[in-house]
């Protein structure tokens, strides 16, 4: 019986011990649970703050992007108005006076003639235009082009600034763009054939090379040509040939005898076929500066930029490109840019409209009828000349040479006729007439 009681007693003790252990474990679980709840309670506000901040950042980003698009719309609108009104037209202040340097004086800001005048975030005057529930504000100001006048543009570069402001007026986005207006007005080209660079060589034999700075009516040349061969009364005549190099030029029989920057060799009546507004023949102007070698190189760079030419004939070639057959490039309603990066031999019958660029020699042995502009050897490293024994008719203008030299050596039959209509036709290839050079964005 003692043994039985002892076992029962041990059993009871063991059960009590197990119950006590379970009670202790329940206490630990409660403590762990309380700790977890405390941690969660601490995390929730932080998570809510993070969510709120992320939501705020997202809203700010969306609002910033929306205002960017508003400001960008203003910039595009301002560019359109600039093209329509010219650079100086948008630069002139309300009273036409030069800027006095005070923030209250808005004479350094262009007026686009639209909307209402508004004082922007920087205290300057802008034109205000409503757009899609918000507003944009636009102004223009000149760069430092050396003339000391912020209302008169000399280099075709101005700054356009557009400010997008939210509907509640609390948030702004500012875009400032340096813009460049590049066009080819007829007055840009000083002659039917413009020779650019410090050295020019003109060689022609026979009476087949006709260069005309305008159409002769009653023995007087006052107007350029229309594309149909008639006189264009809206187009002022110019020189037959003009050289950028200084001096009257030196007429010699042998190139070895020439010591002048401009060397002219004409024989067989060729001199009588170069006509222009000066009246005499040959009509060759010197020291022209309206279209220089740098202008020619800049124009070449723009027209040969990736994606611009409609057709590219690229080297290396063996003897350059030879164009045969009868082909038509472009039309009066769809002018094109054809680019040869080496010599080209026109051996076929080519009719073209727009811009023809040849980095080497343009050798015309077949026939070329071109309406527009032709650039020969106008890149910075080109070595090209106008050559040929074939026939050519050009209505528009030709540019030959670069910063090194220019050379014309033509013995065939050619009629190069200065035509404002042809130059305007070539302008049709410029989808990038107004170019944004650089821009920045700020709030």
- How much is the pLDDT for 301? 84
Give the CA angle between residues 308, 309, 313 to the nearest 5°.
145
Compute φ and ψ for 186, nearest 5 degrees. -55, -35
Is residue 134 within 8 A of residue 38, CB to CB? The reply is no
Which residue in the block uniquely carries the two structure tokens 């223009």?
140
**CA–CA dist 222, 277 (Å, integer):** 7
Report domain extents, the chain.
81-184+432-442, 187-427
Contacts of 168 (CB under 8 A, 6+ apart): none
- How much is the pLDDT for 250? 86
- How much is the pLDDT for 27? 65
Which residue in the block uniquely carries the two structure tokens 């474990």?
25
pLDDT tens, residue order, the chain (443 aa): 444 445 555 555 555 555 555 555 556 677 777 777 777 777 777 777 777 777 666 666 677 787 888 888 888 888 777 766 667 777 765 544 433 333 344 444 566 766 677 777 777 778 887 766 667 888 888 877 766 666 677 777 888 888 888 777 777 888 888 887 665 555 578 899 999 989 888 888 877 888 999 999 988 999 999 999 999 999 999 999 999 887 778 888 887 888 888 888 888 888 888 999 877 889 888 888 888 888 888 888 878 877 778 888 875 444 568 888 999 999 999 999 999 988 888 989 999 999 999 998 888 888 999 999 999 998 888 888 888 778 889 999 999 988 888 888 877 788 899 999 999 898 877 655 566 777 788 77
- How much is the pLDDT for 403? 86
Contacts of 232 (CB under 8 A, 6+ apart): 215, 223, 224, 225, 226, 419, 420, 421
Which residue in the block uniquely carries the two structure tokens 């050559």?
387
- For the chain, first and last CA: distance in Å? 97
H or E stretch including 423? helix 420-427
**CA–CA dist 211, 281 (Å, integer):** 10
DSSP state of 332: S
Nearest by Cα to 244 from 203, 280, 294? 294
**CA–CA dist 272, 389 (Å, integer):** 19
- How much is the pLDDT for 356? 95
Task: Kindly write down the DSSP assignment for every residue of 193-217, as one continuous string.
Answer: EEE-SS-EEEEEESS-EEEESSEEE
**CA–CA dist 300, 358 (Å, integer):** 10
């Amino acid at each position: 019986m003692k043994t039985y009681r002892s076992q029962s007693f041990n059993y009871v003790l063991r059960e009590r011990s197990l119950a006590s252990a379970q009670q202790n474990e329940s206490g630990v679980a409660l403590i762990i649970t309380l700790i977890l709840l405390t941690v969660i309670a601490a995390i929730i506000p932080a998570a809510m703050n993070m969510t709120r901040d992320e939501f705020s950042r997202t809203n700010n980003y969306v609002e910033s992007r929306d205002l960017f698009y508003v400001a960008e719309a203003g910039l595009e609108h301002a560019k359109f108005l600039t093209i329509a009104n010219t650079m100086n037209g948008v630069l002139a202040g309300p009273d036409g006076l030069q800027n006095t340097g005070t923030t209250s004086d808005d004479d350094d800001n262009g007026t686009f003639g639209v909307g209402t005048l508004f004082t922007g975030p920087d205290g300057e005057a802008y034109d205000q235009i409503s757009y899609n529930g918000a507003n944009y504000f636009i102004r223009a100001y000149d760069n430092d082009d050396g003339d000391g006048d912020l209302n008169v543009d000399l280099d075709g570069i101005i700054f356009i600034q557009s400010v997008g402001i939210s509907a509640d007026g609390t948030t702004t986005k500012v875009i400032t763009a340096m813009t460049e207006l590049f066009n080819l007005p007829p007055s840009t080209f000083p002659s039917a054939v413009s020779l650019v660079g410090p050295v020019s060589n003109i060689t022609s034999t026979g009476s087949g090379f006709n260069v005309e700075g305008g159409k002769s009516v009653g023995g007087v040349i006052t107007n350029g040509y229309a594309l149909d061969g008639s006189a264009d009364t809206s187009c002022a005549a110019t020189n037959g040939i003009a050289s950028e190099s200084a001096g009257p030029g030196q007429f010699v029989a042998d190139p070895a005898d020439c010591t002048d920057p401009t060397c002219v060799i004409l024989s067989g009546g060729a001199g009588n076929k170069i006509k222009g507004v000066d009246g005499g023949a040959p009509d060759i102007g010197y020291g022209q500066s309206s279209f220089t070698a740098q202008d020619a190189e800049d124009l070449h760079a723009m027209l040969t930029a990736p994606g611009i030419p409609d057709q590219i004939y690229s080297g290396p070639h063996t003897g350059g490109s030879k164009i045969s057959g009868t082909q038509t490039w472009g039309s009066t309603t769809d002018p094109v840019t054809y680019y040869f990066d080496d010599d080209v031999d026109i051996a076929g019958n080519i009719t073209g409209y727009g811009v023809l660029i040849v980095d080497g020699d343009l050798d015309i042995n077949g026939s070329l009828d071109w309406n527009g502009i032709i650039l020969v050897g106008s890149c910075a490293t080109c070595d090209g000349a106008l050559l040929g024994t074939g026939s050519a008719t050009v209505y528009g203008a030709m540019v030959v040479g670069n910063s090194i030299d220019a050379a014309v050596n033509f013995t065939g039959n050619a009629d190069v006729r200065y035509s404002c209509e042809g130059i305007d036709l070539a302008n049709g290839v410029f989808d990038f007439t107004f170019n944004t050079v650089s821009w920045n964005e700020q709030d």
